[in-house]
Structure formats: C-alpha cells, structure tokens
Amino acid sequence: MSTRAIRGAIQVDANSAEAIASGVMELLPAMLKANALTTLHVISVILTATPDLTADFPAAAAREIGFGAVPLLCASEIDVPGALPRVIRVMLHCESDRLASEITHVYLRGATALRKDLAQ
C-alpha cells in the first residue's frame, strides 16, 4: 500500500447548509467508488469552500456519511476575481494499491470546468 492524494470538486447550487451537505454527500462517495476505496483506507481529508459558501462546514456532512473517524479539516479558498462560484474542493489522503497514475480524480457538476483534463 502507498499513500495517495485524490483531488475532487463539486459546484453546489446555493449557499445553504442543504446544498453544501448534498454536494459533499455526492462528491466523497464518488471519489471512494472511483478509486475502489472505503473510509477505512482514508487517512485524512481537507475540504475547502469558495468564500461565497458560508452556511455550513463541509466536514459536517462528511461525518454524516461515515467519515466520523477520519481527521477532517475545512478551509476557505482564495477569493480570486472571476473564479467559479460555490465550489467545494477536496484533497483526500488515502492508502491504496494503485499507482499514482491510476488514481481517478473526480470533478462533478459545474466543477468539471476546473479540470477538463480530469473531469469525468
């Protein structure tokens, strides 16, 4: 097993606790599934939100879907003029048998525009 970092992002519809939770609950399981992982493989998760998402902590939703024993950290993204709004980004650290080149990074909804080279 090697330590790997997996990137992911999702654009949510609104600055509401429900929209933030919905985005996290869609993105994190998709990242696990795409890389054949469970939460037992996860070392830690960094979740960031664009400055326009203030209604709730993305980590709160992660804990609701099985990440309660995983160290989680939330942070705010840099407020770059013209950047894509309402985006939650994830850096998930895990143990995996996959080579770094075999890791699947997951970009959903409007966040596919962030990394067209990696988007599903």
Q: Could you say which of 4, 26, 86, 89 is catalytic?
A: 89
Please check whether residue 110 is in contact with residue 19, taking contact to mean a CB–CB distance below 8 angstroms: no
Answer whether residue 120 shows pLDDT above 70.
no
In a domain, 118, yes or no: no
For residue 73, what is the enclosing H or E element?
A: strand 72-76
Looking at residue 89, its amino acid is R
Active site residue 77: yes
Active site residue 4: no
- pLDDT, residue 113, reads 87
Tell whether 91 is covered by a domain: yes
7 noted as active-site residue: yes
Amino acid 116: pLDDT: 63
Q: What is the pLDDT of residue 16?
A: 98
Number of separate domains in the chain: 1
| pLDDT (tens digit per residue) in 40-94 | 999 999 999 999 999 999 999 999 999 999 999 999 999 999 999 999 999 999 9
CATH code, 44: 3.30.1330.40
Residue numbers of the domain that contains 18: 2-113
CA distances from 106 to 5, 16, 42, 81, 116 (A): 12, 23, 16, 24, 11
Element (H, E) at 24: helix 17-34
The answer to whether 86 is a known catalytic residue is no
Mean pLDDT of the 2-29 span: 98
Task: Determine contact, residues 33/94, Cβ cutoff 8 Å.
Answer: no
Mean pLDDT, the chain, integer: 95
> Are 65 and 28 within 8 A, CB to CB?
yes
Is 119 a member of any domain?
no
Catalytic status, residue 115: yes
Whether 89 sits among the annotated catalytic residues: the reply is yes
pLDDT of residue 1: 86
